[in-house]
Structure 1
Amino acid sequence: MLDCKKALDEANGDYDKAVEIIRVKGLKGVTKREGRLTSNGLVVAKVSGEVGVMLELNCETDFVAKGERFIALGDELIDHLLTSKTDSVEAFLASSMASGKSVQSVIDEGNATLGEKIEIRNVAVVNGPVGLYLHKTSPDLPPQVGVLVSLAKEAAEVGKDVAQHIAAFAPKFVHREDVPADLIENERRIAEETAREEGKPEASLSKIIEGRVTGFVKEVSLIEQAFAKDAKKTVKQILDEAGTAVKAFHRFRVGQ
């Protein structure tokens, strides 16, 4: 409020000029905020036909995150992402919005107006029938977790259910075949070191290690996880019953 009063005084009561003064002074402070942490923010997503888009917009405090201006900025950016369908943060920041300004310029203006460091951490674009779920971790905050699922065949209810499952259980890959070999080897090394520390007999080590590695792979592979709404079935069984499959998914959580 004090900054606004000073700007109005400097502009001799000219509202538009005062806004310009605030923006200029705010932009001067953008570089000072570059090193600050942005662990708050929101996840926003939209689906149009068979295209789904999602982005994570970050800020410094939850006070800004739940403010109307920040939420409106998220809505403006997701509309542009749905139009541009740009699937990398760098390309999205460089793209031009309907106003003719680049996304980066709009973000910089948001930095100036809101007085905090603001940045886009993640963007995602998926095609095909889309499942979407946004989750609020607190009722007074915008969604903090978002999931987009690309399905092989339309199955709206199952698509949403699987998206909710992903939000809760945070798998890393769709299939076990997608898990990188180096990640499996690292897990095998940890399993062996742990088993030896536990004093497991040498003759049983191989079986114990492979069992733990198999458990790890199942834990990070979506379709092998026990389904959140029916633990007696795997996600794959739920998808098979619906006559569809997951082609890809993206899960964003603010600050992670």
Structure 2
Amino acid sequence: MAEITAALVKDLRERTGAGMMECKKALTETNGDIEAAIEHMRKAGMAKADKKAGRTAAEGLIIVKAAADGKRLVMVEVNCETDFVTKGDDFRNFANAVGEVALNSGANDIDALLAAKMPDGMTVADATKALIAKIGENSAVRRMVAYNSDNILVNYLHGTRIGVVVELQGGTAELARDIAMHVAASRPQCVSEDQVPAELIEKEREIYTAQSADSGKPADIIAKMVDGRIKKFLKEVTLLGQPFVKNPDISVEKLVKDAGAKVIGFTRFEVGEGIEKKTVNFAEEVAAQAAATSK
């Protein structure tokens, strides 16, 4: 049996980031072979990661990276379970590394990004599992968007939880940034009315019609009321229809038109949006545990 020295344990800790006792145990099981110990820990870590994969990961960071020539810009959402972990170096370094891979690999969707290689040769998918094993929380590279264009590409980050990318034809980078800030604050669903799905408009029309049915007004008046509410709805959900946040007296459409520009598209990510978070009643949980132990 090879001697498991403190120096050997220290070397394994530095290479894996794992705890001292975990490193010592791995070295003992592999008879002091550090390379075998690393492989053993990776396999064990992957198994642990698979067990944590079902847990809700609705916290995290939005990462944006841009090419030096300004022609490629990517935005990635990387999730974990708690806000505490987002402040740690392990998670932050991982998220930034994934952002760099997204920028430099040429990946244009999440599947391509997960299959892309990290600097150490692991795929992003496998590196995510290794991170889970290391930090003890479920984590995920949830989504990404990539812009490749000769137009103006600008991003805006509101803290680390909201990120926006805007592609603007004509105009200036300053205008594009103002629009990105507006998108962050006002949450438009699309650029213009023609991009609003017909089924969504019809659904809203049905709701407004049902709400107006008991008004006692003639059918033609109700129809006009519903049309008015649909027009209002379309202005609320479209970027061009909304009042500009920095000057509500004008619409974003007028702002852009006066600058001789055109908004080609935008993307807004907010950490955890659309993820159903588990609500825990801690009082009930403690009471249930107490009842179980008293039996």
Q: Same fold (TM over 0.5)?
A: yes
Correspondence for 1:9: 24
* Paired residues for 1:55-204 under 5 Å: 55-126=76-147, 127=149, 128-136=151-159, 143-153=160-170, 155-197=172-214, 199-203=215-219, 204=221
Contact 2:101 2:116 in 1 (8 A): no
Determine which of 62, 73, 80 is the counterpart of 1:43: 62
In the alignment, residue 214 of structure 1 is paired with which amino acid? K
Contact 1:59 1:118 in 2 (8 A): yes
Correspondence for 2:249: 232
In the alignment, residue 111 of structure 2 is paired with which amino acid? E
27-36 or 88-97, which deviates more = 88-97
In the alignment, residue 193 of structure 2 is paired with which amino acid? R
Shift of 1:241: 2.6
Structure 1: gaps spanning 5 or more residues: 137-142
CA distance in 2, matches of 1:218, 1:28: 50
CA distance in 1, matches of 2:269, 2:213: 36
SS in 1 for 2:202: helix
Deviations 1:203-241 (A, max 9, x none): 421011111111111111101110010001111122123
221-230 or 110-119, which deviates more = 110-119
231-240 or 199-208, which deviates more = 199-208
Q: Highest relative contact order (Cα 8 Å, sep 6+), 1 or 2?
A: 1
Q: RMSD value over aligned CA atoms?
A: 2.2
CA distance in 2, matches of 1:212, 1:239: 25
In the alignment, residue 190 of structure 1 is paired with which amino acid? I
Larger Rg, first or second structure (1 or 2)? 2
CA distance in 2, matches of 1:58, 1:191: 38
Residues 53/19 of structure 1: CA separation in 2 closer, same or farther (3 Å cut): same
Residues matched between the structures, number: 248
Shift of 1:19: 6.1
Query: What TM-score comes out, normalization by structure 1 length?
Result: 0.89
* Paired residues for 1:11-26 under 5 Å: 11=27, 22-26=41-45
Contact 2:101 2:113 in 1 (8 A): no
In the alignment, residue 141 of structure 2 is paired with which amino acid? I
Correspondence for 1:139: none
Contact 2:76 2:143 in 1 (8 A): yes
